[in-house]
Every structure is written in C-alpha cells, then in structure tokens.
Chains A and B, each alone.
Chain A
Amino acid sequence: MAIWACELALDRWRQAEPCKRGEGADAQPLVLIAETAHGPRIEAANAAGRAEGAARGMMLADARTLCPALQVRPSDPAGDLAFLERLAIWAQRWGPWSAIDAPDGLLVDVTAVAHLFGGERRLLADVTARCDARGLAVRAAIAPTAGAAWALAHHAPAGTILGPEEDIALRLADLPVAALRLDADVLLVLRRLGLKRLGDLTSLGLGVGEGASGRDAIHRRFRNRRSPAANPLIRMDQLAGRVPEPLLPVIPVSAPLVQRRLMEPIRHRELLDQVVADLAADMARVLEGRGEGARRLQLGLWRVDGEVVLRDLELAMATRDPAHVCRLFAARLDHVDAGFGIEMLRLRASWAEPLALAQADLEAAAEEHGTSLAACIDRLTVRLGRDAVQRPVLRASHIPERSVGWQPPLERESAQQEELAFHARPLKLLDRAERIAVLYASPDGYPRRFRWRGSLFDIARVEGPERIAPEWWREKGATRLRDYYRVEDATGRRYWIYRAGLAGDGRGGEPDWFLQGLCG
C-alpha cells in the first residue's frame, strides 16, 4: 500500500499556524518557498494559490506577476522528513512494517492484513479517515508491488485497488510515464521520444517480434544508466514485479531512560549519591530486561530554577553494573552547582549494545582479586580523558612517525599485513625528531660524532643507511628523503638518527640531521 500525503508541507504549516483548511490564513493565496541560487522558488502552494496560478517549482517572482497578493512562508524540508518518519511508525498500525518514500509518501506492507480491517476497500477508507482526522490530505492505493501502488496513489483516482490476479501492465497502461518515479531529465527524453503513457512503453518493450526489438532499443538508449530512477526499463520491471525492489523499513528505537522526581529538592552530595545509585539500579534492571549494556550514559539534573546540568559518561565496554556506573559518575559530580536544589534526575542510555547475562563470579577470591580490564580502562579514561589512554596500532606507511596510530584500548585492531622484520627499529620514538649537529667523514660517509641536548656523542659503531623515501602520494614535492642510521656511542648508548635529504638534491640547502629514536 502506498500512501501519498499530497500536501504534506502545507498540512504541517496549517497545524503550526493553526488554522483549518481554507479558513483563516489559508483562505488567502499562499506559497511555501525555498531559497535557491536563482532566488526563492515555490515548494508548495495552497488551493487558493493554485487557483491564482502559482504552482510547485515556479520562481516566486514569476508567481508574483500572476498574483501580486501572494503570501509567502518559508518551507521546512527537514521538519517534513522528521514528521514523515514519525508518520511511518504511526502507519505501522496498518501493516507489519513501513518504509519512507521521500519526500512525502509512505509505503506500508499490507500483505495478508486487509481482512483484519474488513477488506481492502475498508482498509483504504480507514487510512483516509484517520489521516483526515490528523489534518493530512492523503491518497492511498493498494497494489501487489510497491511501484504499482506508488503509481496508482499518485496518478490514479483516490482509493484504487489492484488485485493480485489482475494484469498490472493492463491496468496501468493509461497512466503517464511520470508514474514510473523517474528523474526529470529521463522524463524529458521519453517525452521527446513520444512515449507518454505507460502503455506506450509496454507495447514497445514487452511484445513479441517487433516489440522485443523495441525493448532492445530502450535498453540501448539507457544502457549506461545504472540507477533505477534513471532507467525506465528497471522501473517497468519493478512495477510489474519482475525484479525485486528493496525497501528500507522504519524501525522505532527507544533509548532506555529512568528518572526520579523528588518531593524535596536536594542540595547535598550524600543525597545526590543516593539518588544516582537508585537510578543506576533502575537502569541496570531496564537494560537487563532488554539484554543490553550501556556504552554511553547521560545524567541530567533538573534544578529548581530551571537550569539543566548534564553529565556524560562513555564506557569502554558495554556494562550494566550499577556499582561501576555510580563510581564513574561520582568523579563527574564533584563540581555540580546545585543552586536552590535539584528536583529531578534522569539517566538515559543513549548508546546501548547487546550484552548477554553472565554468570556471577563464584570465586570467593574474586572480590580481592582486583578489577577487570574494562573497569580499569573506564576509570583511567574518566579521570585522564579519552586521548590519554590508547593503544598503538600499525598503519600502512613507511615513514616511522606515521606507521603507528593510536586507538581506544579495547577496540578491535583492524587487520594488518605482517611487517617486514629485517630492519631493526628503536624502542622509543621522540614525539618530534630533534635536530642534531653531526660531524661526518665525507658527504656520503658515516656520521662520526654528534651533539644533542648540549652533550657530545662519539659514535663507535654505525649501521646504515636505510633509505626511506617520502610518500609522494601524500606530501609535497619538496619533501626530502631520509637516510636512517643506527648508531652506538663509545659508552653503549644507542640511537636512531637520520639525515633529511642529500647534498645537491635540489630540495633545499645542506641536509639536516635529526635524532628520532632511542634504541634499547
């Protein structure tokens, strides 16, 4: 079943105004406009406006020449879409699932449902009546395929029903080609070809003999159009049910939420802790019922004077342990200004993940035996911040400082190609390579001695160079290559140094030397 809210934007505007259809502000010619690069364009026009000549898609200036008294209001496409989403969930009263058909339609699956409403005709009557009660002008139609239902809802008399035993192509033959849900430029092409009705396409595309070559002709004309909205053949096949048309159903998801309204506003920390503990216990029960654990929690404190204090908490792993949650919130509640008191608290799990019930730890020593890794990471993250607790992971790069990235500690590591292990790498890398002054035998010879942080290092042993070229796909052309040397000085201190560039490589003056890593 397809439901088309033909005047969705205007209906929403009327509800916001509020006025009845054709009364009050709606009695005057009125249009909703959207700003475009070429000036305001009309998105919707009410009945009086349409009578005066304003139509959807016109420029406002053109409409004004026809009707100088035109009233103008801005349109709200985002709000319309949000409304449509809620409408889609509401429309599940007529079928097990529904999908949005943007910008102003719905598709509801009513397979094997109609008898509950007393037949398809009465089902459609119910749809019209209930939408009318909500102030929505709708046109609905029922057909075996979504495409056919859409075509009937938009281009056939209201309340059309196409039974499963009827021939779809035959019944739809008189509808215009616009019923195929095609893009504007494709419709233009079809009109230029003289194909105005679906029947024209059907007789061309699906007959035998001469007709089969007609289908080939359309296929050749549109063969590089992959998207269904740009290819009439795909749309025709979807209409007739010869190829499947996937739809995305709308599924309502609600965030677990618990709250406490307090008889007496609280102003003291002990009471607050008590209430938070109660909320955490409630939340644990709610989450347990859903078989989930919270990853992100939001605690809202409503103060008497109307201020709302929010505290967010993000956990490394899904949990619903109330004691753990309380302890983490305790650190966050230190600097709450209670003002004249807090009268309501609300705890919301805005991000929850499936978490199976686990067997409680039966080991008697478990109490003594310390925290789990996830709890430990949570505590560190809450106190030190998300960026402070991380684990190194490999990235695809040869440049040493770029070959290691950081990610949250308990996240799964992405798959990596095995490193080639024939180069020795230092144990530690400085955050920024530090410049050193180096004495070397000849321009290409080994370094002999260097000065770093004010002290001299006599190099006793050296290995290198290992040349690492700049990543040309990422960096500018003037980036210099690096020659890495592993060096050890007379007392055994080991370093990883490099020379940026070669003498006379045309990318700057003399090469600079840097110390980047400390070897163990």
Chain B
Amino acid sequence: MDMAALPRAAELARAGASKGAANPRWHPGSKCPLHSEIFAPADDASGTGAALALALDGLRVRGAGKLGQGAEEGAVLWVQDEKARKLSGRPYRPGLPEALRHRLIHVAAKTSEDALFALEEGVRCRDLACVIGELAGNPKALSFTASRRLSLAAEKHNVPLFLIRLDAEPDLSSARMRWKVRAAPSAPPLWNTAAPGRPAWHAELFRARTHTPGEWILRDGNAFLAAERATPAHAPAAPDHGDLGLRAGARSLAAS
C-alpha cells in the first residue's frame, strides 16, 4: 500500500465540511474529543498504538488552533494499573513517537482505584498535554459514575483523556468517543517487503456523540494520521450511505 495514495487529513476534512451534516463522519484532524475509550486486546499493542496515533492527531489539531503554544509542549501522563502492566508491559521510551519521548510521565498504579485517582488528577492539571490510561478488564471501580466524573473533569479543564481498555467488555460509560481497535496488516515498506512496515490498525468507532459510527483502517504517517474506510466485516450487506457523495464514481451501489 502506497502511503501517498491514501486520502490525507486535509482532503477528508474538506469532504466532511462540504457535507455540513449535523453528525459528520469522523476523519483525522477533526475536533479532538476530551474523553475517548479504546477497547483492544491485551496481547498486542494495537490499542496503545492507535491511542497514541489518535492522541498525537488531537495534539496537532489543538496545537494548530493555539498557534503552537501550551498543548504542544506539555507533559503527557501515562497511567497503568498493575494488571495492564503485567499483561502488556510498560511504555518503552526508544520506541515511542518522537514527539512524546521526552515528555512522558509514567504512573504505575497498583489498583484500578489508584489508577482512576491518577487519571482524574491528570485531567485536572492544566499543564498536561493529554492523559493516557490503560486499564485491564472491567474493574468495579470504573462505574458509570466514575467515567462521568472523568468526562466532566476533562471537559472543565480541557485536557484530553484517552482510556485504553484491555480485554474489556464495552459497558456503560460516558466517554465521548468509543473505539474498538484490533491490529491490521501493516503497509509493506519500500525496501524490504518481507518486513513489517508502518503500523496499521483496524478501528471501529461504535459510539460517538458528535460523529456517525464507522470503520477505518488507520495508518500512522510520521506527521499525519491516514485513515481509509474499511468495509464493515460483520454486516457486509448493510448499505453504507455515509460517503456516497464522496466516492460515487469509484464504487457502484451494487458492489457495496
């Protein structure tokens, strides 16, 4: 897959704006929600990778809006509870995206209660660029009330929160955007086609307040996030009218 062939964020943004619907399609570079949940399996890092890609995308949007001050250089708080740390390890600084390496603060919480406390303190801190949380399973502490508290605090102080839920069932939550993420085969690299290439994820936005649900293949470019519409696997026959206007020439209705 050639990266250049993928639609860039700007093109998608233009497409979204031209429609002007009340519930536009999500596209990279759209307004960063302040509380997202990302459900992912615990035995690979797809959830983490996608969360970081979304977070960086959000930071770029905020940074552009603020003319490069504040959000660009604040620290990033990364909270993990004990079980998540056991299952999927700690963040490894040399492998992190370049923009995050030097400003990561890691919190190793023992219980999920402690992790939730750290998350809430994090979203209350005006100096943080964003907060990333990793919780394993469905802890009792993360009730609807708790997630509502997180949402309200994040919205009040304008600090985005990306909560990665490892091996969890989607339960009640007040997150503004909820994703299901799994790994997708990576784009073949230019030189060694037998090697893994740039990471890609299959991401399904299954609940969102301001956007229509849908599925995407996300790929992390170095300076941008590329998204490609994926056909829903579970309901291939359901007609998806979301991008009819955009790609009427490329696809026939019968094929979808």
Contacts and interface: CB of A to CB of B under 8 A. Distances in A.
Interface of A: 368-373, 375-377, 379-380, 383-384, 387-394, 400, 403-404, 406, 409, 413, 419, 424-431, 452-453, 455, 460-463, 486-488, 490-495, 517-520
Interface string B37-73: 0000001111011101100000000000000000000
B89 A494 contact: no
Nearest to A401: B92
15 contacts: A370-B124, A370-B125, A370-B156, A372-B127, A373-B125, A384-B110, A394-B93, A425-B95, A428-B91, A491-B185, A492-B46, A517-B92, A518-B44, A518-B45, A519-B45
A409 B96 CA distance: 17
Contact of A520 (B49, B77, B106, B124): B49
B86 interface: yes
A162 B122 CA distance: 69
Interface string B75-105: 1010000000110111111111000001011
B3 interface: no
Contacts of B205: none
B225 interface: no
Closest 6 CB pairs of A and B: A520-B49, A463-B195, A425-B95, A518-B45, A373-B127, A370-B126
B100 to A, nearest CB: 10
B211 to A, nearest CB: 24
A365 to B, nearest CB: 10
B19 to A, nearest CB: 31
Contact of B195 (A390, A452, A486): A486
Contacts of B204: none
Contacts, number: 181
Contacts of A379: 121
B128 A519 contact: no
B117 A426 contact: no
A353 B108 CA distance: 28
A380 B194 CA distance: 45
A267 B132 CA distance: 42
Contacts of B182: 491-492
Contact of B89 (A390, A455, A518): A518
A401 to B, nearest CB: 9
Nearest to B194: A461
Nearest to A394: B93
A373 B92 contact: no
Contacts of B121: 371, 376, 379-380
Interface in B101-150: 102, 104-110, 114, 117-118, 121-122, 124-128
B202 to A, nearest CB: 8
A371 B156 CA distance: 12
Contacts of A518: 44-45, 48, 88-89
Given A373-B125, A413-B102, A425-B95, 15 more contacts: A369-B157, A371-B121, A389-B105, A392-B104, A392-B106, A406-B106, A409-B105, A428-B95, A429-B89, A431-B85, A461-B186, A463-B192, A487-B196, A492-B182, A519-B49
Q: Which label, helix, strand, loop or mixed, suits the secondary structure of the B interface?
A: mixed
A427 B105 contact: no
A429 B90 contact: yes
Contacts of A491: 182-185
Given A371-B126, A518-B88, A519-B196, A494 B95 contact: no
Most buried by A among B45, B192, B220: B45
- Give the interface size bracket for B toward A: 35 or more
Interface in B189-205: 192, 194-196, 199-200, 202
A426 B44 CA distance: 11
Contacts of B104: 391-392
Most buried by A among B43, B86, B104: B43
B159 interface: yes
A461 B195 contact: yes
A391 B106 contact: yes
Given A389-B107, A520-B49, A494 B124 contact: no
Contacts of A403: 94
A492 B199 CA distance: 9
B157 A370 contact: yes
A422 B253 CA distance: 46
A492 B107 contact: no
A230 B252 CA distance: 96
B45 A383 contact: no
Contacts of A490: 185
Contacts of B196: 461-463, 486-488, 494, 519
B102 to A, nearest CB: 7
A488 B186 contact: yes
Nearest to A408: B105
Contact of A460 (B49, B88, B117, B185): B185
